[in-house]
Amino acid sequence: MHTVAMPRWLVSGAPRPAAPKLYCFPHGGGSAAEYLRWARGLPGAEFHAVQLPGRGSRLSEPVFTSMDTLVDGVLANVPLGRAPYAFFGHSLGSLIAYEVTRALRREDRPLPERLVVSGYPAPHLPRASQELHTLPDAELIEEVSRIHGGIPEEVLASVELRELAAVALRADYQVLETYSWRAGEPLSLPITVLGGSADHVTAEQLQAWQELTTGEVTVQQFPGGHFYLLEQPAAVLRSLAGALRTVRTKERSAPC
């Protein structure tokens, strides 16, 4: 199946044809614009952040409310053909990156050379049942802020901004809370797993990603909570740069 480049789906940094591409999937309620600063901090990568509908520049577009339709949308509209490339996802973005990778394998399309997941337990682990997506806007925002943090103070302080933020947040939590992991063959690519040492996602839940691939799994925790990557940006970028260096090495060592 051929993909069609849809500019509204990607927020991209400067072209770097000799570097691997890094596709970033934002957290629940997040926007691609939050990762723009990484384009400058990762000179060894060509940066692309996936912009889902219902937020940022796509605020007026209908949102996805299930993982299957979201993954289908990414595969149909985001060009992922040229190797080498890697995926990064934080929180819900980790789950999206993982399921997009599995879908690419089902369609026998080129896979990322490395999957970098952050702040999310291995998807096959049991999860507590939640229905945050059914809460009224104000309660949804307050509960997500209480559990995870990461919602800017200006959003919490503004009725209008809370209403706008709740649209994407509700949709993403519906994707998350209605998701059901389907057993299948493990992946065969390396996975880098990142997390915050004070996050509710435990070291054991991060380590369990090893059960989902036959490739090497590296787990690294940083000081901080669920949004440790905002608290430790330089350290996180160094870790990403290290992971991407292995992608470059693999590509350069490939036979002509």
Beta strands in the chain (DSSP E): 10-12, 21-25, 46-50, 85-90, 114-118, 191-196, 217-222
Query: What DSSP line would sit under 234-255, residue for residue?
Result: HHHHHHHHHHHHHHHHHHHHS-
Q: Give the pLDDT confidence score for residue 100 in this predicted structure.
A: 97
What residues pair up with 221 in beta bridges, in sequence order?
195
Q: Mean pLDDT in the chain?
A: 85
What percent of the chain is modeled with pLDDT above 70? 86
CB atoms within 10 A of CB 214: 12
Considering the domain delimited by 7-126+184-253, tell me its CATH architecture.
Answer: 3-Layer(aba) Sandwich (3.40)
In the predicted structure, residue 107 carries a pLDDT above the cut 80? yes
Give SS3 for 256.
coil
pLDDT band at 152 (very low <50, low <70, confident <90, very high): low
C-beta separation of 199 from 225 below 8 A: yes
pLDDT of 133: 76
* Active-site residue identified among 91, 94, 118, 239: 91
Split at pLDDT 50, 70, 90, the class of 167 is confident
Distances (CA, A) of 5 to 47, 117, 137: 16, 25, 34
| pLDDT, tens digit, 9 for 90 and up, residues 4-56 | 345 689 988 888 888 899 999 988 877 788 787 888 888 888 999 999 998 87
Query: Tokens at residue 190, please?
Result: 């390396």
Under 8 Å between Cβ of 22 and 46: yes
Give strand pairing partners of 89.
25, 117
Nearest to 117 by CA among 203, 18, 48, 209: 209
| C-beta of residue 114 within 8 angstroms of C-beta of residue 241 | no
* Domain residue spans of the chain: 7-126+184-253
Known active-site residue 91: yes
pLDDT digits (tens, 9 = 90+) for 114-139: 999 999 999 999 887 678 777 777 77
